[in-house]
Structure 1
């Protein structure tokens, strides 16, 4: 089993390495090009969008929030009216609280599910509502990440960071749709179901009648992973043989959820004109991901005592066709990418293994993070690292030629504070409300060892919601009004408050003119003038400075500033991420997973 697991891990790494350069550069061309495809121009005409118009961070943020609000209203109404719409398969409209929670969940790219999908949602709701949001919510994350990069590389001081509508359409049409199509075809060869039927009746071995649900699973499984969404069409999610039947399909799905977040570091390096920057971010992500995978793999493979060895180590809650290594690889990747898809029951993991999965989310899901969200999250942490590290060594806090002053660090700090506030407030309020104990099963009984695990279940729930992850410790029932509402609010604020702060940071950086080092001189100078990546100065193009080429390099190479590439900065970045999360969440972790592991 260990050899098979290592081979699968090697296969994942090799495929990601092969795709890194072509996909990363393709995404850079997509967002840097000044040309629109025919189908994109059709969308712009219908929406009366001027694709050549650039937006400041305020306009960009209003467009994101406006689009997301309309998406929420549409998805909520679709669920409520499900019973009177075609192709409902006899399913009634979704209850108000559940519809509210689900609409927020899918619009925020969280895909938290407080229901059994095959029982509650019709195929029409799954395809027209949930699957569509899987595409567009992922495209929103990509757009915000690209907007931040534009703020960093804007050389004119104009404050413009692109056009949200152009970025949204391009992300769907040129990136998410083609990749999802390829992944869906591969999954079909492995036996993943793709049907427009609602189900079929059959007779069991005992002679009793039963009903099996089928639907367009392969297509939705593909975008679920490619878009780091996670919400499945079956309650067993990616553990169900209709969605993930073979070890090969399992590996393909792991690659799919890691693919865009990993390759976006190449996109970043290409767009800023210094690929060392992207490699440094990738190295930091890989270090955290590898460490977490090692911890979970080791603790899930342990079996102390004859009885444990006879029971097959920690195989409870895991599929026999995957085993511990493939389950651990999937679990670490899904909690590190804000995906939330699962091929095993995280609630059945060991205290240390399950605690590592919680910790993986509490790090901010930057290893490698969700589609777009992972990149802008680690870039915010990089800005904080530059500020703190620069002050410690007596160097000017600058990030790729842009000064990190009070306003910039304020936006970065506000970004960092949102998720911990939501997680800790939601968890603490929930555990002191006696009405929540009935929803924790045996884990909520006070005075028992299970109560420690019950605390971990609640902590996991709010960490998952506030980080837009969507996975859960299955022992916690979240159908009460309190959990539906509070987790919905955590998902809403955990998605859009950070986006607003990221866009505000992008706007502040875009208003600055960068400083570059003069040829042969250690001093720096402010420059102006611009050109566009990919030809043309049109829709969403990234402004770069033409005069930088005449110098020896950007201010990142200036000895008076802290370099933002290389092993030293990568180590500082990882240390900052761990320090922020450790100081914030160690007390909560000590009350739950750490205490459970020690006892």
Structure 2
């Protein structure tokens, strides 16, 4: 580890904290449906969408209606994307003449991008046409991200409103987020990437002469536009197979730093938006403090392990840090930080291969997802996931002081606790259940490249990433098979929507309640004690569930490594 590496991590966090309030203010304006400076230009576009679709943005919805409209919208997008991918060979915008995808790969990919997972069982530059990248995938990057932020707004309204029967309008929330947040930032972001050397063209490829005099064909396409939203919307699906490790996606140290910032910026801002929505910004800062603390622990462990290197290689005379699977232009610190950022958020973009990390260095990205990706998390999904843990934390606190738990002025009763437990239990049930199935079937065991604990980690990471809607992978797993494409597709769908529906039910229940003023006997939910309790609940409830599986995978792998053994 070096002072430069620690400086990179600390400066990264400091910039994000400084940007949390400005981003939160903009998000709060969209949350309230207020005019912004962009309404002068985009207001008529928004109104045109509503007229075309026959939607009244002022007509609010109950939590059930909000959920139904959200589900219908996502199912329609899923079917559209599946059709585009299957018919790819017959559609225009296919300069390299790629055939349509198989049934199982098209299903997996359509579910993946609909759920904001962006798991990729394929190499983008050798599988997808330009039309598929733009119409089938990039549109999802915007709309799945907008859906997540809209759902966070709906949850905020549940806490903020008093005796209300509605939690907003899904169509209005989704439209405003897309038009006034994601689209403007991505236009500027894409221009920055183009200026930095990222391609943006409809040309399929270009032939070049290498230094050795050989001919090589380089894939091209509309990369910058997809890259911008894949990061800002915490989608993660790369245009190229190696994702942000590819110089056409992430050419310089500056683009790498900006990419990491863009993954986290909306998640940081939403914590402040929540505090503002409930009338107490300190509530948002308390949540952010808990998130940053857990994040810093994970980043420190990963950087420490990757900088320490592999003792087996040291014994063979190869000293230094673990550079396997990393880009020299980024180095250990930036690669380790990126891995923790992308898995703390539900992004899945990678600038290094997690499968090549040391055992404990690779365990932290895995554990980040298993915690529910609530440490900043995906856009929208992170904050509403963290608030589910907050409901459990305040329930535990209520038991400690012997009174009905309250959070931001709302009593937390049996219905909310049961629904929160139901939502939180989805991930371990899917991850552990599907991992067990893959570990005892021939089709599942045919996937891992490695044997022993590391091979188990490859399977565990795949279903953790799928159910957690992350999309990164221990790339040693061969996942483009009917077994893995089908099972991972189911895991991604359950991991997204089986959490959302209970969350919206909680929002509706809370919105209907009256506000309970804070008294001297109320448990404080803004100070260090509350932040510590939040961290404890996330680590205990979210982490200990997976300890046996981690012991079989990365922990066993680490013990073997320090004893000079490989499997």
**TM-score, scaled relative to structure 2:** 0.95
Kindly report which structure 2 residues correspond to 1:164-175, keeping only aligned pairs within 5 A, or say none: 164-175=170-181
Cα deviation code 1:159-191 (max 9, x no counterpart): 210000000001101111122122222222321
Q: Do 2:367 and 2:543's aligned partners in 1 also have CA atoms closer than 8 Å?
A: no
Cα deviation code 1:219-258 (max 9, x no counterpart): 1111010000000000010000001011111000000001
**Which shifted more, 179-188 or 79-88?**
179-188
* SS of alignment partner, residue 201 of structure 1: strand
Kindly report which structure 2 residues correspond to 1:102-113, keeping only aligned pairs within 5 A, or say none: 102-113=109-120
Q: Does 1:249 align with 2:210?
A: no
Map of 1:542 onto structure 2: none
Map of 2:541 onto structure 1: 580
Q: Does 1:569 align with 2:541?
A: no
In structure 2, C-alpha distance between the alignment counterparts of 1:505 and 1:299, rounded to whole Å: 40
In structure 2, C-alpha distance between the alignment counterparts of 1:64 and 1:131, rounded to whole Å: 19
Tell me, which stretches of 5 or more residues in structure 2 are unaligned?
561-567
In structure 1, C-alpha distance between the alignment counterparts of 2:442 and 2:457, rounded to whole Å: 16
Q: Does 1:497 align with 2:498?
A: yes
Map of 1:6 onto structure 2: 6
Map of 1:484 onto structure 2: 485
Cα deviation code 1:137-164 (max 9, x no counterpart): 0000001111000011111x12210000
Aligned-pair CA distance for 1:110: 0.1
Map of 1:345 onto structure 2: 353
Q: Do 1:114 and 1:479's aligned partners in 2 also have CA atoms closer than 8 Å?
A: yes
Q: Does 1:405 align with 2:416?
A: no
* SS of alignment partner, residue 187 of structure 2: helix
In structure 1, C-alpha distance between the alignment counterparts of 2:458 and 2:105, rounded to whole Å: 20
Map of 1:551 onto structure 2: none
Map of 1:128 onto structure 2: 135
Aligned-pair CA distance for 1:34: 4.8
Cα deviation code 1:502-526 (max 9, x no counterpart): 100000101111122xxxxxxxxxx
Q: Do 2:346 and 2:377's aligned partners in 1 also have CA atoms closer than 8 Å?
A: yes
Map of 2:242 onto structure 1: 236
Among 332, 337, 343, which residue is 1:329 paired with?
337
Aligned-pair CA distance for 1:9: 2.4
Following TM superposition, the consecutive aligned residue runs of length 4 or more in structure 1 with deviations greater than 4 angstroms are 305-309
Among 150, 160, 165, which residue is 2:157 paired with?
150
Q: Does 1:418 align with 2:419?
A: no
In structure 1, C-alpha distance between the alignment counterparts of 2:175 and 2:426, rounded to whole Å: 28
Map of 1:48 onto structure 2: 54
Cα deviation code 1:455-493 (max 9, x no counterpart): 001000010001100000010000111101100000001
* SS of alignment partner, residue 496 of structure 1: helix
**Which shifted more, 250-259 or 36-45?**
36-45
* SS of alignment partner, residue 439 of structure 1: coil
* SS of alignment partner, residue 280 of structure 1: helix
Map of 1:520 onto structure 2: none
Map of 1:203 onto structure 2: 209
Label 1:309 to 1:153 Cα distance change in 2 as closer, same or farther (>3 A).
farther
Among 184, 194, 197, which residue is 1:188 paired with?
194
Map of 1:18 onto structure 2: 18
Label 1:188 to 1:5 Cα distance change in 2 as closer, same or farther (>3 A).
farther
Map of 2:563 onto structure 1: none
Map of 2:515 onto structure 1: 514
Map of 1:86 onto structure 2: 92
Map of 1:28 onto structure 2: 28
Map of 1:543 onto structure 2: none
**Which shifted more, 507-516 or 481-490?**
507-516
Q: Do 2:308 and 2:320's aligned partners in 1 also have CA atoms closer than 8 Å?
A: no
Q: Do 2:111 and 2:493's aligned partners in 1 also have CA atoms closer than 8 Å?
A: yes
Aligned-pair CA distance for 1:367: 1.0
Kindly report which structure 2 residues correspond to 1:150-549, keeping only aligned pairs within 5 A, or say none: 150-155=157-162, 157-303=163-309, 304=311, 306-307=314-315, 310=318, 312-441=320-449, 443-444=450-451, 451-516=452-517
Aligned-pair CA distance for 1:308: 6.6
* SS of alignment partner, residue 472 of structure 2: coil
RMSD of Structure 2 on Structure 1 (CA): 1.4
In structure 2, C-alpha distance between the alignment counterparts of 1:324 and 1:309, rounded to whole Å: 19
Aligned-pair CA distance for 1:2: 2.5
Q: Do 1:183 and 1:256's aligned partners in 2 also have CA atoms closer than 8 Å?
A: no
Cα deviation code 1:235-293 (max 9, x no counterpart): 01000000101111100000000100011111111111101100000000000000000
Map of 2:123 onto structure 1: 116
Cα deviation code 1:286-321 (max 9, x no counterpart): 000000000000000003474577354200000000
Q: Do 2:63 and 2:507's aligned partners in 1 also have CA atoms closer than 8 Å?
A: yes
In structure 2, C-alpha distance between the alignment counterparts of 1:512 and 1:32, rounded to whole Å: 20
In structure 1, C-alpha distance between the alignment counterparts of 2:141 and 2:325, rounded to whole Å: 27
In structure 2, C-alpha distance between the alignment counterparts of 1:217 and 1:250, rounded to whole Å: 15
Number of positions where the alignment pairs a residue of Structure 1 with one of Structure 2: 551
Aligned-pair CA distance for 1:501: 0.7
Label 1:306 to 1:468 Cα distance change in 2 as closer, same or farther (>3 A).
closer
**TM-score, scaled relative to structure 1:** 0.90
**Which shifted more, 377-386 or 6-15?**
6-15
Map of 1:540 onto structure 2: none
Aligned-pair CA distance for 1:408: 0.9
In structure 2, C-alpha distance between the alignment counterparts of 1:330 and 1:239, rounded to whole Å: 11
In structure 2, C-alpha distance between the alignment counterparts of 1:229 and 1:4, rounded to whole Å: 29
Q: Do 1:395 and 1:562's aligned partners in 2 also have CA atoms closer than 8 Å?
A: no
Q: Do 1:151 and 1:507's aligned partners in 2 also have CA atoms closer than 8 Å?
A: yes
In structure 2, C-alpha distance between the alignment counterparts of 1:223 and 1:17, rounded to whole Å: 22
Aligned-pair CA distance for 1:578: 0.6
* SS of alignment partner, residue 208 of structure 2: strand
Map of 2:564 onto structure 1: none
* SS of alignment partner, residue 366 of structure 2: helix
Q: Do 1:98 and 1:484's aligned partners in 2 also have CA atoms closer than 8 Å?
A: yes
Aligned-pair CA distance for 1:20: 1.7
In structure 2, C-alpha distance between the alignment counterparts of 1:127 and 1:150, rounded to whole Å: 33
Map of 2:102 onto structure 1: 95
Aligned-pair CA distance for 1:6: 3.0
In structure 2, C-alpha distance between the alignment counterparts of 1:471 and 1:562, rounded to whole Å: 39
